[in-house]
Structure 1
Amino acid sequence: MTHRTLLFFSSLIAFFSMVLLPPCMAMPPLDPSTFPGAPDYTQPEAWLAKPKALTAPVDVFFVYPTVLFNDTDWVLDPSRPDMRAAAQSTVDTQAVVFEGQANIYAPMYRQMNLAGLGLSDANAAPLQKMVHTDVWRALSHYLKYENKGRPFFLAGHSQGSMILADLILEHWGTTGAENQLIAALLIGWSLTPADLTTNPEVRMCERPDQTGCVISYNTMESGRQSVAPTLKADALAVNPLSWTMDGAFVAAEKNLGSVFFDSNAKPTAYPHFTSAQIINGGLIVQPDNVDLVTVKGGHFPEGVYHAFDYSLFYMNLKTNIAERIEAYRP
């Protein structure tokens, strides 16, 4: 984990401890010796999604967001069916935006519980090392043994985007696969100008046909930037209705369709559901029906629509994925 992310992680610790973690939540003592074994990415069971046969000329490597919220397990166990199912649900509702356009590779990794954000830096260090090591091993395996020279996307959400952001800031420029990157969708996390100065190989996307760049944004209603826990100070953002980084208001008419999924991952589309505007680093939205983006008993403050970062702009994301594939030139 980079030094800048460690500092931001410290601020998240304070935020989640005071606001989001229930007072009654009593986790067992953290003991790294009890962590589940590391996934073996040469084995099929280490992957939530991995194509049996290639159906597209490009790939996506997807890292799932936080799905572990219980008060008994510090670490997601890749061998447990219930935890696999929770992770699979994000493939079915987020990574599915790539379906039909890219071969989906989604590794299991030993994710840390949201409660890890309530630990001190020292106590959280083993968890942070574990999640970064797992995903880096998975990505390295994918690039060496699975990719075979195809163009690819990186994509994640929340904790998944945090891990991918740290890994590309640390390693991009050393993998030999940099010119194969179509784009990195690091949605639900933040990069800042200071982050980008640490690695000039990493740059933000500033137009809809740009490749080799990063797309990042965090959705919320107006005035909620200060309480959005994944929004860093000085965060950079890309507006998914214009694919630019300016502060122009983009009307809901440009929204091709927000897509929301029921408990069986059945989608329902709502065209022109929200406008979008970048203000103070946040992507400010005005949902047509706030009930659809409200999670009762959720882990984020009211008016922060983190869980719906993909859903709110689903059809625009899908259309732009096709546009960037068409624009890609090695």
Structure 2
Amino acid sequence: MKKTHLFAVTVLLSILAHAFVSLAMPPFDPAKVPAAPDYARPESWLHKPAAPKAKVDVFFVYPTVLFNDTDWIMNTADPEMKNAARSPLLTQASVFKGQANIYSPMYRQMNLAVLSLPDDQAALIKKVGREDVWRAFLYYLEHENQGRPFFLAGHSQGSMVLADLMIQHWGSTGVEKRLIAALLIGWSITPENLTQNPALKLCERKDATGCIISYNTMENGKQKKAPTLLPGALAVNPLSWDTGKEFVPASKNLGAVFFDAQNQPTTHPGFTSAQIIDGGLIVKPQNVDLVTVKGGHFPAGVYHAFDYSLFYENLKANLADRINAMNK
């Protein structure tokens, strides 16, 4: 992992440290790393269509769902972990439903409690999940994609892993022209990242392709407390689909969508405005109670868990715009 991203992960973990100080984690034992997923086996995929129907795909990497006090690394064969990973598939990734075939691999993600480990052990854990996702992506390209255009998408740890992989590999895969867009939501892309790999670029228009969409939602004044907002972070405003700093009113919000405990959606048109200030996507929700997580891992006013929900219908409409642009 490059120094920038090692620093980024360290920032994320240090801010979240308070959530884990009371956990009685067992000593980390490298000999007890869970077995690697075999992506030739169906059970190694959270979702993979047997008969793809859409003309485009999405390769979706789920966010952090491992928060227990026993496992440093996710065991992808554990039914409980698979069930936990399924929730963001049914909520966040549902913006792609009906528009793209969804391919989502299980991967041995890290428990954020790795903060308590020495640097060398922590680096080993981070590498495990990153290499799983890369192997899954290569398998997807060789055996599943069949030449279709595709999105990359994730959230939080999923977006972090995809960002690391794009910085390391993008421009040398041979499939760059098939990328519709990379939704690296809930993580930061910085000018340094774009310098590290000139093949990367942010989306500047609603119909741009081959580019990255990244933003982190919060109320103004919380930028320095937002764990995933890195110094110098760039952002794309999902109400204007550019990187401008102009205020965009809530009237442009087609609908925030919130999911109940059974993952059933409720839509709220015009729920929030959006403006990029100091790298953060600043929002003013109509009902703060709907974006408040009691006992959550993020500071009050940082709406990380709702990065997709707040702009759900705009995301959904924009996917169609970019798919149409790709097909022209």
Task: Check conservation: 2:20, 2:113, Cα contact below 8 A.
Answer: no
Cα deviation, residue 22, structure 1: 4.0
In structure 2, distance between residues paired with 1:138 and 1:89: 20
1:65 aligns with 2:66: no
Cα deviation, residue 26, structure 1: 1.5
Task: Check conservation: 1:13, 1:118, Cα contact below 8 A.
Answer: no
3-state DSSP of counterpart to 2:53 = coil
In structure 1, distance between residues paired with 2:284 and 2:116: 31
Instruction: Choose which of 50, 74, 93 in structure 2 pairs with 1:76.
Output: 74
- The AA in structure 1 aligned to 2:274 is A
3-state DSSP of counterpart to 1:303 = coil
Structure 2 match to 1:298: 296
3-state DSSP of counterpart to 2:192 = helix
- The AA in structure 2 aligned to 1:317 is L
Task: Check conservation: 1:9, 1:117, Cα contact below 8 A.
Answer: no
Structure 1 match to 2:2: 2
Cα deviation, residue 3, structure 1: 2.0
Cα deviation, residue 2, structure 1: 2.3
Ranges in structure 2 where 5+ consecutive residues have no aligned partner: none
Task: Check conservation: 2:72, 2:113, Cα contact below 8 A.
Answer: yes
1:38 aligns with 2:30: no
Structure 2 match to 1:16: 16
- The AA in structure 1 aligned to 2:261 is S
Structure 1 match to 2:112: 114
Taking the TM superposition and a 5 Å limit, the aligned residue runs for 1:122-271 are 122-271=120-269
Cα deviation, residue 329, structure 1: 4.9
Task: Check conservation: 2:155, 2:187, Cα contact below 8 A.
Answer: yes
- The AA in structure 1 aligned to 2:317 is T
In structure 2, distance between residues paired with 1:97 and 1:127: 30
Which stretch has the larger CA shift, 114-123 or 281-290? 114-123
3-state DSSP of counterpart to 2:132 = helix
In structure 2, distance between residues paired with 1:95 and 1:2: 28
Cα deviation, residue 13, structure 1: 3.3
What is the RMSD computed on CA atoms of the aligned residues? 1.1
In structure 1, distance between residues paired with 2:155 and 2:314: 17
- The AA in structure 1 aligned to 2:314 is N
Cα deviation, residue 67, structure 1: 0.4
Task: Check conservation: 1:251, 1:274, Cα contact below 8 A.
Answer: yes
Cα deviation, residue 73, structure 1: 1.1
Instruction: Choose which of 52, 55, 67 in structure 1 pairs with 2:53.
Output: 55
Structure 2 match to 1:282: 280
Task: Check conservation: 2:107, 2:129, Cα contact below 8 A.
Answer: yes
Structure 1 match to 2:99: 101
- Give the % identical residues: 63
Task: Check conservation: 2:154, 2:162, Cα contact below 8 A.
Answer: yes
Task: Check conservation: 1:13, 1:120, Cα contact below 8 A.
Answer: no
Cα deviation, residue 126, structure 1: 1.0
Cα deviation, residue 258, structure 1: 0.3
In structure 2, distance between residues paired with 1:102 and 1:13: 33
Which stretch has the larger CA shift, 285-294 or 114-123? 114-123
Cα deviation, residue 263, structure 1: 1.0
In structure 1, distance between residues paired with 2:291 and 2:19: 21
Cα deviation, residue 38, structure 1: 0.3
**What TM-score does the superposition give when structure 1 sets the normalisation length?**
0.97
Ranges in structure 1 where 5+ consecutive residues have no aligned partner: none
- The AA in structure 2 aligned to 1:44 is P
- The AA in structure 1 aligned to 2:8 is F
- 1:62-112: CA deviations, max 9, x gaps? 000000111111111111111100001110001111000000000000111
